[in-house]
Amino acid sequence: MSFFGGVLEMLGRAPKRPASRTDQAEILHGRKRGKGLDVARLLEEIAAAKKVHHWRNIRWAVLISVNLLFTLSFWVDIQILEGSLTASRFLGFHLADPYSSALVMLATASVPVNLVIGSVTIALFWALLGGRTFCSWACPYHLLAEWGEAIRNRLEARGLLVDHPMHRGVRPALFVAFAALALLTGHTLFLTLNPIGIVSRAMVYGLSMALLWVVALLAFEVLYARRAWCRYACPIGLTYGLLGVAAPFRVVYHLEACAHEGECRKVCEVPHVLDLTIKGRAADAHVDVGPDCTRCGLCVDICPTDSLTYEVKGLDRLL
């Protein structure tokens, strides 16, 4: 995927067929025209892949451990990681969410040095990992939404629910709107509504009435629009996606092995990034999945032909 194409898709543009394809991609696509598949074997591979949750389990362990470290640091008073995901200190060194920090600076018309240091540090860290890695590997709301989606999938399989997709252009609009409100009113409305901060603070300091908003948001996602906050609203996810556009760490699609059965798109939180797995869509034999990818590993786990892999730019296949 091209650099600008990935950015435009992250800002809401629908995926498009490539204007041109490399000679190698044309050859591979040509080989697949009319090629028969061993359907029985493919179904066996898909069934086996569905039982493997290697990367999901590792990711859940990392996410839970990171958030529990905040809790333990506060309640046991070990002072390793103080604060919450919005703003914290690690061994005394300031860390802060870049978007939230920008809103505070706009609202207060000031540039606190500690906030700048903290937000730049975090921005560099997640920019190296790329995409929206923060979302699936650290965000506590993401985990709740993932569990909520599992409930939704069961209800949908019984025909009790229908998804109501929203336009992904809502997210960049909210990104700008919250920033404009902070600048014009001096209030950071987003920090009040942000479910990431609400859940993170609740884990550290205890329950609050703000959790009712999180429950309502989860109910909306389960009953009406699948993963609505993460897909269509969260400006923090958009921020990390923009920061990680050129990151060396990415998920890579390998055209030759792909059976185009679509299992990866079924499990993907942001399925538009895997549009390139549709037959005829890949512009090259090996294509980086776009920056809106959360690097969650669900597609890597589920792919029956290992066509999707974690890789580091400049190195051979990593994992």
- What pLDDT shows up at residue 117? 94
pLDDT tier at 23 (50, 70, 90 boundaries)?
A: low
- CA pair distance 29, 284, nearest whole angstrom: 10
Average pLDDT, the chain: 89
The 10s digit of each residue's pLDDT in 79-130 is 778 888 888 888 878 899 999 999 999 999 999 999 999 999 999 999 988 8
Separation of first and last alpha carbons in the chain: 20
The 10s digit of each residue's pLDDT in 186-226 is 999 999 999 999 999 999 999 999 999 999 999 999 999 99
Residue 20 has pLDDT above 90, yes or no: no
122: closest CA among 165, 145, 93?
Answer: 93
Compute the average pLDDT of residues 245-250.
Answer: 88
pLDDT tier at 16 (50, 70, 90 boundaries)?
A: confident
The secondary structure of residue 14, as a DSSP letter, is P
- CA pair distance 97, 251, nearest whole angstrom: 24
Residue 22 has pLDDT above 60, yes or no: yes
The 10s digit of each residue's pLDDT in 133-185 is 999 999 999 999 999 999 999 999 999 999 999 999 999 999 999 999 999 99
Residue 319 has pLDDT above 60, yes or no: no
Compute the average pLDDT of residues 264-276.
Answer: 93
Helices (H) and strands (E) in the chain, counts: 16, 6
The dihedral through the CA atoms of 1, 297, 250, 87 has a sign that is positive
| Strand segments (E) across 12-85 | 81-83
The most confident of the ranges 145-149, 246-250, 284-288 is 145-149
- CA pair distance 211, 199, nearest whole angstrom: 7
Task: Give burial (CB, 10 Å; 0-12/13-18/19+) of 84.
Answer: buried
Whether 113 contacts 93, CB under 8 Å: no
Q: Which residues pair with 93 in a beta bridge?
A: 90
- CA pair distance 139, 125, nearest whole angstrom: 15
- What pLDDT shows up at residue 6? 77
Whether 97 contacts 86, CB under 8 Å: yes
Task: Give burial (CB, 10 Å; 0-12/13-18/19+) of 173.
Answer: middle
- What pLDDT shows up at residue 35? 54
- In the chain, what are the domain boundaries? 3-52+251-312, 56-242
Compute the average pLDDT of residues 54-76.
Answer: 93
Q: Regarding predicted confidence, which is higher, 31 or 204?
A: 204
pLDDT tier at 46 (50, 70, 90 boundaries)?
A: confident
